[in-house]
Structure 1
Amino acid sequence: MAFVLALAFTPSLHAGDWPQILGPERNGIASDAGDGLWQQTPRIAWQIPCGSGYSGVAVVDGKVFLWHRVDDQERLDCCRLSDGQQLWQAEFPATYGGGFNNDRGPRCVPVVDRGTVYVYGAAGDLHAVAASDGKPIWSRTLRQDYAAEDGYFGAGSTPIVSGDTVVVAVGGDEGHGIVGLDRKSGKTVWAATDLTADYASPIAFDATTVIVPMRFQTVVLNAADGEIVFEIPFGQRGLNVIGATPTRVGELLLLSASYRIGAELVDLSKRPPEVVWSGDDILSSQYNSGIVRDGYVYGIHGREDMGAATLRCIELATGKVQWSEEDYGVAHLIGASDRLIAQRTDGTLELFAADRTKFQSLGKLELPPGTYRALPALSGGKLICRMSDGEQSKLLAVDLAAGGADQK
């Protein structure tokens, strides 16, 4: 089934590409990460300055797509994975004024599909450009068109391409909570729900159906026509967000959030879907998605803005906590073969074993000082990390294969 889904959603991709948020299947698992990674101490292969925002990058066919804000423009840069050399650039007016966080750059990861790059800006403007040269194809001011509110941090749910439809959690009024656009023209083909958008991103359920996390409901719908299959209540009112993209394993769906919401494992084979287990004391992830390896979830329990976060291993079927690494800190995780890579917000990279019995660190690397809140991407043996620190922000390529190149 995973192979069929890969063919259905990424027909133009190459082995090792990282075409969207959380990788090829939006589950945080690298498709080409073998035993050759991190055999020697990784080194920084290249680094380039970048603007504001918390968008991770997409990587396709040896090209890195960086979505960021420079002055009054939201900018999409395309550079070579091998050396960081810029190939082309596309710019669009930036209108987001800021919210609870003073960073006004985009939050969403670019999506590359069949030769087109889709980028969603902080003000809710969606653009499609040619991956070959950055030539604009179409643009939509979705949040303006459908009177959606900025929320706490602007638009932050990365759209998904399913078949010939771009599915976007807009949060608009009059039934425009979720919108489906024709991927070639950008025209609206359907709209569904009055729900408010949040910060977790949609994932695929199968070749025609997508799972879209919203403010108080997670919606499962047909991508071609917007018909809702079912909804799962998740979230609560108050000062909180749903920020962690769900993790799907077959018919099981793992939802998690902080703010005393906690985690739920939902069995999607049941009608209506049934909660297998739930609990705020099991996994309470503010915005980091859990990674599932061999029936066990590795995830972050806790918040960046309050207290100390813990790295945990949890049995997926039962919700039983196998081990906890206390005071670990908030980190994005990537699954690579039988290991995981953690990128902490403080700039620490760590390799550890996917071992359900204990935490076993296999190596560490300290990146240049700064805040690493953006999602990393792994492609071609390079981990692409983004450091956000005002005018000193950088994009770095860390060579994890064969010791890497000299630092620059």
Structure 2
Amino acid sequence: MNPHQRHASPILRRLLVLIVAITSFAQTSNGATAGDWPQILGPNRDGLAVGETVSAWESNPKIRWRMKCGAGYAGAAVSDGKVFVWHRDDKQETLDCLATNDGRSLWQANFPAIYRGGVDADRGPRCVPLVSGDQVFVYGAAGDLSAVAVSDGTTQWTRQLRTEYDADDGYFGAGSSPIVVGSTLIVAVGGNERSGLVALDTQSGKTRWTEVDQEAAYASPIAVEIEGQTRIVAVLRLQTVMIDPETGKILGEFDFGQRGPTVNAATPITRDDKLFLTASYGVGCRMLDMNSTPLKNTWHSDDVISSQYVTPVLIDQWLYAITGREDFGTGELLCVRWSDGEVAWRRPGFQTAHLMGLGNKILAQRVSGQLELFAAEPKAFRSLATMDLPAGTYRALPAFSDGTLYCRRNLSPTESELIAIELNQ
């Protein structure tokens, strides 16, 4: 039996709705500029703002504007004074382009919404839009990938990748997010006949190569530089691979994941020649040496960091991470030394939250609807400011640009709202 076709337990239903929010688009770290957040986890796909910080607030920051949205868990992308919001309104998936200063609509692009839903009642898109040059790419819940002109919202091309490559819907539909390297867009499709990864031409949408016999996960690929060469690291259903983005040739592989009703959902973290992976469900975390053949552990733990879907942030030589499972109420914040996994401090009961690095501080957005700013210090946890957000569920990843935080709150399986909050007033 295909694992995606079996009925999920009540616990699985509760946990799966949260994992889709971690999926989004990725691009390489070339040309990152202050004020841009063009994809999940910021310009360099590491959860760190470029050239920006935030001061501790004494009174609640001002909400600048709000926008009503439909279904989905896709966070916003921000680039060059524009905010891109990807959501579903009944029978269509919609990409809205808004002005950052006041939220006014600049243009809108619509696409047929054919995803019927899985474990989660929400049938909206899962992936943050990816802005790359004069294009913005959106990946729908049914696996339809489209390129849209940033200037006016004109659709340039669309590919029905999951249909074309006979990929399963998985628990939530398409969720692993593509990455742009030069003029190549690489997608974890999870299709048959070695189409686990598919590379497309960004301008035409035509296939350049297919490779890997693996189902897609809910983690997204990243780009790394090794000895002057760009490589792609993709965390798939049960395996992590390192490939040449030009040819698709597999350069390294490592078993990572757990069979059964589980997912790999946290984005990998890299520095120099080291690669950090984490997942829940008894998988734990691994630090790999990317220069070794085959890829090998330098340290690992089954219980230090076991992230269900939150991607850690790395500041100086310390990882700040959420471990535990939201559905079990075990979300815990901790600080861990990058080199060997030594725990500096723990904050039990912190709850599950998305993390972003802002200079020497970290901003946490709890799924339950609170912001907390704390110092990025290995000595001890030190809270700097807190704020209660409007009531709702905040599983979508936040974005930060020019002192403004963009949060999406879900109110029901069919409605949500994007909120722009001025953190630097």
Query: What is residue 230 of structure 2 aligned with on the other side?
Result: 208
For residue 22 of structure 1, the aligned residue among 30, 34, 41 is 41
- 1:303 aligned partner, one-letter code: R
Structure 1 partner of 2:106: 87
* CA spacing shift, 1:136–1:10, aligned 2, 3 Å: farther
CA deviation after TM superposition for structure 1 residue 7, in Å = 11
Taking structure 1 as reference, are residues 282 and 233 closer, same or farther at Cα in structure 2, changes over 3 Å only?
same
Instruction: Give the letter for the 2:363 counterpart.
Output: I
**Pairing partner for 2:397 from 375, 387, 391:** 375
Is the Cα–Cα contact under 8 Å of residues 71 and 87 in structure 2 kept in the other structure?
A: yes
Measured after TM superposition, the shift of residue 394 of structure 1 is 0.6
| Counterparts in 2 of 1:9 and 1:301: CA distance versus 1, 3 Å | closer
Q: Do the aligned partners of 1:10 and 1:113 also contact (CA within 8 Å) in 2?
A: no
Please tell me the residue identity of whatever aligns with 1:22.
Answer: L
Q: TM-score, normalised by structure 2?
A: 0.90
Q: Which residue of 2 aligns with 1:3?
A: none
CA distance in 2, matches of 1:387, 1:47: 11
CA shift for structure 1 position 114: 1.0
Cross-structure match for 1:399: 422
1:280 offset after TM fit, Å? 2.1
1:41 to partner: Cα distance: 3.7
Question: Tell me, what secondary structure is at the counterpart of 2:191?
Answer: coil
Match for residue 343 of structure 2?
321
Residues 177/8 of structure 1: CA separation in 2 closer, same or farther (3 Å cut): closer
Alignment partners' CA distance in 2, 1:218 and 1:331: 25
How far 1:36 moved relative to its partner?
Answer: 4.9
1:156 equivalent to 2:175? Answer: yes
Structure 2: distance between partners of 1:28 and 1:8: 14
Alignment match of 1:336 (pick from 358, 365, 370): 358
In the TM superposition, residue 8 of structure 1 has moved relative to its aligned partner by: 6.8
Q: Report the equivalent of 2:292.
A: 270
Asked if the contact 1:291/1:333 (under 8 Å) is kept, the reply is: yes
SS at match of 1:143: helix
Provide structure 2 residue ranges, at least 5 long, that are not aligned to the other structure: 1-25
CA RMSD of aligned residues (A): 1.6
Which digits, 9 at most, give the CA deviation of each residue in 1:274-297, with x for residues without a partner?
Answer: 211111210010110010011110
8 Å CA contact 1:37–1:381 kept in 2: the answer is no
User: CA shift at 1:68, angstroms?
Assistant: 0.6
Counterpart residue type for residue 170 of structure 2: G
SS in 2 for 1:144: helix
Question: How many corresponding residue pairs?
Answer: 396
Matches within 5 A, 1:65-84: 65-84=84-103
Q: Is 1:198 paired with 2:221?
A: no
**Superposed CA offset, 1:253-307 (max 9, x none):** 1101111111111111222222111112100101100100111100101111113
Q: Deviations over 1:322-369 (max 9, x none)?
A: 111111111000000000000000110010000101111000011100
Aligned residue for 1:43? 62
Measured at CA, do residues 224 and 9 of structure 1 come closer, stay the same or move farther in structure 2, by a change above 3 Å? farther
Render the CA deviation track for 1:209-249: whole Å, top value 9, x for unaligned. Answer: 11111001111111111111111211121110001111111
Q: Which amino acid aligns with 1:184?
A: Q
* 2:381 aligned to which of 359, 364, 382: 359
Q: Where do residues 103-114 of structure 1 align in structure 2 (5 Å cutoff)?
A: 103-114=122-133
Name the amino acid aligned to 1:45: R
**Cα distance in structure 1, aligned partners of 2:56 and 2:104:** 24
1:270 counterpart letter in structure 2: S
Output the amino acid matched with 1:263.
C
Residues 141-166 of structure 1: CA deviation (Å, up to 9, x unaligned): 00000000011111111111001100
Q: Deviations over 1:367-394 (max 9, x none)?
A: 1000000000010110100001225511
Give the residue type in structure 2 aligned to 1:215: R
- How big is each residue's C-alpha offset from its partner over 1:306-326, in whole Å with a ceiling of 9 and x where there is no partner? 132101111111111111111
- How far did 1:40 drift? 5.8
State whether structure 2 residue 406 is matched by structure 1 residue 384.
yes
Write the deviation string for residues 21-59 of structure 1: whole angstroms up to 9, x where unpaired.
Answer: 111111000002135574764221111111111111110
Q: CA deviation at 1:397?
A: 0.6
